[in-house]
Amino acid sequence: MDSKEVSEVPRREVRSFLMARDPSIDRRFRPRPNKKMRLFDNIQESEEESFSEYSDTESEYKYQSSEATEGASCATSAADSSNLETGPQVFLRLRPVKDASKAYIVSEEANVLITSCKVDSTSNNVNRMEKHFGFTSIFDSTVGQRDIYDACVGPKIMEEECVTIMTYGTSGSGKTYTLLGDDVRAGIIPRALENIFTIYQDTVFRSPKLKLINGSIVFLQDDASLKELQIRKKLLDLCPDISAHHQRLKQVIDGDHMFETKASTDVSVLVWVSFVEIYNELVYDLLAIPPKQDKLGEVPRKNLKIVGNKGHVFIKGLTSVFVTSSEEALRLLRLGQQRSTYASTSVNANSSRSHCVFTVDILKYNRSGITTQSSYKFCDLAGSERVNNTGTSGLRLKEAKNINTSLMVLGRCLDAASTVQKKKNADIIPYRDSKLTMLLQAALLGKEKLAMIVTVTPLDKYYEENLNVLNFASIAKNIIFKEPVIKQHRVSYCGFMEFSKMSTCEGGDYTKELEDENVRLQLEIEQLKYDHVLQMQLLEEKLRRELTATYQEIIQNNKKQYEDECEKKLLIAQRESEFMLSSQRRRYEEQIEDLKDEIEELKNPASDTDISDDPNESKSPIEIIDDD
């Protein structure tokens, strides 16, 4: 019995088609929820996935940490970002007009615009219907530049986050005025510059030691820093003098705002500005240094190339200028405005014919070696216009077509961004179809905050154009992005932090004097090199003239000697020829005389006959003369 039990070996269960497995064993019959759910959508993605190995830049997008750890050597970790999803802020500004149309009504909450056409200003029945457009906030004609800045731009600069601010609207609706203002009422950009330099007043670094090159922060050596200072000086010399104008604007801004200053001893801040325009789908640098040999107004502009990949964007060969004050940045802004393209149309006497983007890059260097980048892009989009209403032709017609095409692509990108928010693949946003959307792809993909200020002229004759603008704004209002990230870079500790402290303390003025003296000496060296080259060229020309004169004198002497020899040879030849002629003449004369004698003899035959009759005379004796 025992042996039988020992011989039995447990065998594996054989599947049977008649007797099924127990439901708890077979995975096909395990209980599961009736509704399918994706359990991993809300789980935070690894921050390593946001960095592409094949990206065009070496920068990394990392989530903003709550507080930088002191003494850290590199950015190895970052705090978790919030899971909040926010969309772009869309503001509406109504231009002040004398007789405002009643077709535009603002709600009591000041965030909904109600439009209804009651006149024959539109031929489309759909546009006659009452429509409601929601905005983050609506500014009527009574709201000034101060309130617009406090609502749209001020909080974003205080939060130190990357943001793209664009103005969009019909031609002549006040886009450029909102950004720049006038001599009395400062716009968004002058106020933002004053705000930035007031915040970092005690931490602004006076030497360009860090620069954003091709999307990555690079530490500059001494020779590269001197070159950047020389470029800065040359461009500032080309800028118009706006000292009095800047003082007036500063007084107005200081009266409207109370900007705070952030005190920090472990941070150095470097500010760089750049200015580009997109004209007829070509990118031009508005701060490029013109060549010396070309005349003013005849400098050919070079088309630049936009390089980008998944939100990492930079313009190859773009001039970025280091600035240390708001006045310098404003002077460069005025210089770029003078070089941008403007023209007169039937709607606006000074209409911008290109999209202009003014960028302010703020590079912050911590003692731990971590550098952070904050970029503020101010986009002045060209006004959308209907060719049938404006009656443009020729070059203005070509400009209007390119403007409308780029704005249409921007609308398509916003529409795609609003419909793709639940999908993972963001490449379907067609931002590569236009240079404008390629430059703004970081904001379109949610890598940066986006704020749009829509300007509208509330008149009946612009009703259909305003509806197109409002529809465009409603698309942007429906976009939902994830919380944007802060750009952090890994830079080894370069040791200029202590120098930064020295520059901000009592020795800062002396350091600035030394830097100015260094730049002045470099320019003087260049001038001396130019003078030396000029002197060498003059000396070379002098030597050439002396050598030419010497060789000419030698040639003249040789020529004279040759002429004398030729004259002598000619004289000898003349004498020989005269002698030969005279001898030939005498010989011919003698022959002539002999012939004459023979002729005379032939004429007198009687004498010959007499001679022949006398035999004695005819036969004369022959005398033999012996020579001996």
d(CA 195, CA 326): 9
Is residue 176 a known part of a binding site?
yes
Beta carbons within 10 angstroms of residue 402's beta carbon: 22
Q: Are 151 and 137 in contact (CB under 8 A)?
A: yes
| Alpha-carbon span 194 to 187, nearest angstrom | 11
Q: Which residues contact 131 (CB under 8 A, 6 or more apart)?
A: 114, 115, 116, 467, 470
Separation between Cα atoms, residue 250 and residue 202, nearest integer Å: 18
CA–CA distances in Å: residue 437 to residues 47, 443, 447: 26, 9, 14
Strand partners, 364: 269, 372
Question: 282, 280, 284, 397: which is closest to 340 by C-alpha?
Answer: 284
What is the C-alpha to C-alpha distance for residues 583 and 209, in angstroms, rounded to an integer? Answer: 104
CB 471 within 8 A of CB 186: no
3-state class of 47 per DSSP? coil
Closest C-alpha to 101, from 457, 347, 361: 457
Reading the block at residue 484, the tokens are: 């944007």
169 marked as binding residue: yes
Q: Torsions phi, psi of 603, nearest 5?
A: -70, -20
Whether 116 has a binding-site annotation, put simply, is no
Question: Angle formed by the axes of helices 395-419 and 463-477, to 10°?
Answer: 30
**DSSP letters spanning 314-346:** EEET---EEESSHHHHHHHHHHHHHHS-EE--S
Q: Is 170 marked within a binding site?
A: yes
Q: Binding site annotation covers 174?
A: yes
Backbone conformation region of residue 465, classed left if phi is above 0, alpha if psi is from -120 to 50, else beta: alpha
Q: Which residues are annotated as a binding site?
A: 169-176
Q: Which residues are annotated as a binding site for ATP?
A: 169-176
